Structures are given as C-alpha cells and as structure tokens.
Amino acid sequence: MKEKLTIVKVGGAVVEDDVQLTQLLHDFSAIPGRKLLVHGGGRKATKTAERLGIETHMVNGRRITDAAMLEVVTMVYGGLVNKTLVARLQSHDINAIGLTGADAGIVLSHRRPVVDVDYGFVGDVDNVSSKTLTQLIEAGITPVLAPLTHDGEGHILNTNADTIASETAKALAIQYDVTLIFAFEKPGVLASPDDDSSVIPVITRSLFKQYQEDGTISGGMLPKIENALAAVDAGVSRVIITKSDAIDGHHGTVISSNHTTT
C-alpha cells in the first residue's frame, strides 16, 4: 500500500496576503504525513518589476518573460517568496527546503516555441525528477518548489506553477498515493464568479467541456482545470480546487476522471 503524500499549490494572491498566507501555512503544517508545497508569486513579481522600472506584459493572463523580467521572477520566486515560505514553515516545525526546478535538476523544461506569441524565457515541463524529490521526502524534508525550471543548457525558465504542481504530482504518483490541492482565494470552481456559494462540487472531463462551451468556466481557470484533469488521468488519487483556508480535503471542487467522487 502506497504512503500518502499531499501536494498543495498556493497562488500568488494568497502569497501576497499575510492573513491568508498565515492561515494556509498553519493548515499546511497540520496536514499529517508527507507533503510538498508549490507556490506562485506573480503579483509580487509585478510589483517588484514596477519598482525597478520594468514594464509587465501579459497575454491571456500569461506573463511575457524577457531577459529583464526573467531576472525579476528569479529574484522574487526563487529568492524572496521561496525563502520566506521556508522560514515560516520552519517556525511551524516543518523541516522545509526551498528549491527551484534547476536545483538537483528537479524540473527539466524547454523554452516554449513561438506560435502566435513569443513568451520569451517561459518553460514547458519535460520531466520531473521523482527520485530526487522522493529522497528528500523520505528523509523527512518538505520540498517547497518555486515556479522556475531549467532547460539543461544553463538557462532558467519561468514556468506556470499550476503546471509544476500537476507534473510533480504525476511523477510522484508512481511512488505515493497523491492528493493534489490547488489553493487560491475562492472556495472552489464557481458556477457564478460573483457568488462564492455557487461552488461546483465535481468536475469531470465531460462536464468541463460543457462548462467551457457555455462560458461557465473561462479565463485562468481553464488551464488550472486542464492541469488538474491531466493529473487525475496520470494516476493522481485526488485533485481538489479550494480556498486557501480549506485545504483539509473536505471542501472545494473535486476534479474527477469519471462521474463519481471516489
């Protein structure tokens, strides 16, 4: 029987809000057994870039990462945000280690090819080193992954944190019984964006297609659910999208490959 592993991905809006972040780290620390944290930090990167006089360009909610912006996200994601989370987890008696995808070659990616948009130094994941992460986890260490990867040729690449969480969960599902939780500022996937009580309890691939076609789900939620479905299809036991103060596995939207919530 596989050991349980909980992977929590926390978004940049939560990372930036000290009240929400404090609660999340408290709850994350209380999760029993093995765990891993993946974080974003886009809003903090945008503010830091602005202070440095570097303009932020977004296309369909995705950041264009030129050379100057790459320096900013590397500093913010791999430095300020990552090490702050590690230090705060240590205060909860969690022996955490902060990592980018380049550390120990954990996440290898390639620069996204130019189709309609040149996203610059943005990476799409090719491989996650489950062996390295397993060694850390089995040693009682909690990895905290920043949304940066490497291409094996000496380049850091800015990479979507939801994708890193999904790909990491898929890689570790061979070894562990994995629950993947996407924690953000809403209580789940909402049928009505302005109504926090309209949480959709379960989304299957067929329901996702339906919600996408009728406009119920749109924008940045689309790639999040696509990542979640990919994780379920690859053997991740449970995937949940929920509010950052409800990561106990009993709240939010369950992403399922079928019509049950097993």
**Average pLDDT of every residue of the chain:** 94
Residue 127 sits in a domain whose CATH number is: 3.40.1160.10
Total domains in the chain come to: 1
What H or E segment, with its residue span, contains residue 243? strand 238-243
Share of the chain above pLDDT 70, in %: 98
Residue 131 belongs to a domain: yes
Residue 262 belongs to a domain: no
Residue ranges making up the domain that contains 171: 4-185+239-244
Residue 225 belongs to a domain: no
User: Residue 62 — pLDDT band, cuts 50, 70, 90?
Assistant: confident
- Amino acid 261: pLDDT: 42
Residue 141 belongs to a domain: yes
pLDDT tens by residue, 137-168: 999 999 999 999 999 999 999 999 999 999 99
Residue 172 structure tokens: 């570790």
The pTM for the full model equals: 0.94
Residue 54 belongs to a domain: yes
> 97: which strand partners?
143
Residue 49 belongs to a domain: yes
Residue 218 belongs to a domain: no
Which amino acid is it at 175? Q
Q: Closest Cα partner for 72 from 45, 96, 47?
A: 45
Q: Closest Cα partner for 24 from 38, 10, 13?
A: 10
Residue 203 belongs to a domain: no
Which amino acid is it at 141? I
| R_g over Cα of the chain | 17
pLDDT tens by residue, 211-257: 999 999 988 888 889 989 999 999 999 999 999 999 998 899 999 97
